Structure 1
Amino acid sequence: MSTPVMTMDAEALKCLVDSPNADLALIDVRTPGEFETVHIPGSCNVPLDDFTANPAEVLAKLPGKPLLICHSGSRAAKAQRALQDAGLEHGTVLSGGVTAYQAAGGTVARGIQRWAMDRQMRLTAGSLVVAGLIGAKVISPKAAWLSAAIGGGLVFSAVRDSCPMISVLGKMPWNKTGK
């Protein structure tokens, strides 16, 4: 049985961020492109794949207690599970992510605007399904297998709570930063 997810709401984080004595390490586990688009000032960007590869190494470089941040809380919860699996003190997840923090009036830093990863995934999956259906009507009935493969991939993603399409999208040039 896994340990429950420890969360902090956006209002509580606003109070802590404004406090000079806060002993928090804000770790944003989104892609570098998402982080550049909008992030909480003072947060450190460690993409989820990098974080889960070696959470102990990441935490050794950061002072304070880890507060894990993503777009909505889902990827941050995965990072928290990686900490638990490594036997480390598990971090706290910002409930609702950067989205909730912004909605609560928290100050954010903005850069080049990009779509969130889940939105990119929905556009890509939907476009491929439509392409498969059109291809089945216009080119060959076998093109419908593209739609079936995307549907199967989405089921797999839901069951495994991971998304290979998001991993691929995260490596696309528009999701990288100029650094």
Structure 2
Amino acid sequence: MERTDHDSRRAIDRRTEHGIAPDDGRERFAGYGVMGAPFASGHCLALRHFPASSVGDGYDSVWHRDPAGEWTIYSSVRPEASCARYFGSATEDARTADISVRWTGPAAFTVRVDDRLVWDLELGKSAATAAMTGLGRLMPSALWRSDAVLSMMGHVAGPALGSATSG
């Protein structure tokens, strides 16, 4: 089956570049991310690509956990205005870096962090991600602002996507 532009992950990038959530006093971000990609070496990478933010300029951030469990968060904006501010002492280091996210195909992109990292990704679809995307499209916008609904979604999403941690 041929992929249309509507289905393209690149289309997701274009749709989020201009979207910003309503000004309701809450911190909001428009974009996408890779929640975590563990490697056999013990390293783990994560990505946040937020072209729009209610707390300042849009930004990119790449998170790196080394095999010893130490986290470093690289961000295209100062750490106080990025994801790093939510993690405090859980982060070994937070620094500003030149980060680029460049789409190389309909479902593939390359992330670069200064001269430290080049990360090539190709995205796929699982039954769990397809179901969650479908449910998300059906949800009325008011539910996206409900703390109870968002909390429940968080509890379901981790195990459904195989990303739940114990402890």
Same fold at TM > 0.5: no
User: Greater Rg, structure 1 or structure 2?
Assistant: 1
Larger RCO (CA under 8 A, 6+ residues apart): 1
User: Structure 1 length as normaliser, TM-score?
Assistant: 0.30
When normalised by structure 2's length, the TM-score is 0.31
